[in-house]
Amino acid sequence: MSDLSERIAERVISIPDYPRKGVIFRDIMPIAADAELFHDIIAELAARHTGERIDRVVAIESRGFVFGGALANELKCGFTPIRKAGKLPRETIRETYQLEYGEGTIELQKDALAPGARVILVDDLLATGGTVNAAIRLIQRLGAEVTAADFVIELGFLSPRSNIRGCSRIHTLLTYD
C-alpha cells in the first residue's frame, strides 16, 4: 500500500450497519477536512491525466462533488454535476440503477455536455458499479466520451470493475478487499 493509500485509510471512518444492517459506510469527510491530504489526493488524481485533453470533469452527487470540483480546477477544465432525480432545474435525461442496498435515479441536464467532449467521471467510492454505469450511460447519451473514471475508494470485495461498461481506465487510491 502506498503512502497516500495509507494516509487515506487512516482518515476514513467505517460505520457499521449504516444506512442499513450489514452495510459498512465509509465516511470520507475526514479526508476532505485534512487540507494536506486533500491536496495530495487531488494532485495524484490530476497527475494520472497529465498530457491528456480533458474537456470536463463530471462528478456524481454528492460526495463526488467534493473531489470532482477540485480536480476540475486542478486540470483547468469545466465541471458538470450528475444529480439525484429532481434536483436540476432545466430539462434532463435520467437513468435508474441498482445500488448495493436499493435503487437510485440520477439525472444530467440535456445541454450539459457537447458531443465529442472528453470527460473524466469522478466519485468518492466505487462499490458495485451501478451508479457509475448509469452515469456513463448518461454521458454517452449526450455524445461525450468517458476517458477515465477516478475514485478515492474502491470496495474490491464487490468486484465492481468487472461490472463497469463504457470505461476501461479506472483509477482508485485505496481498495478494501
pLDDT in tens, 28-59: 999 999 999 999 999 999 999 999 999 999 99
Options 26, 63, 83, 154, the catalytic residue:
63
52 is catalytic: no
Cβ-proximal residues to 137 (8 Å cutoff; 6+ apart), any chain: 95, 166
Options 74, 100, 137, 161, the catalytic residue:
100
Q: 79: buried, middle or exposed (CB in 10 Å: 19+, 13-18, 0-12)?
A: middle
* Confidence check: pLDDT of 1 > 70: no
Specify the pTM: 0.94
Cβ-proximal residues to 47 (8 Å cutoff; 6+ apart), any chain: none
| pLDDT tens column, 128-171 | 899 999 999 999 999 999 999 999 999 999 999 999 999 999 99
Residue 26, classed as helix, strand or coil, is strand
* Res. 75 pLDDT band, cuts 50 70 90: very high
| pLDDT tens column, 18-31 | 988 988 999 999 99
107 is catalytic: no
Class of domain 52-176: alpha beta
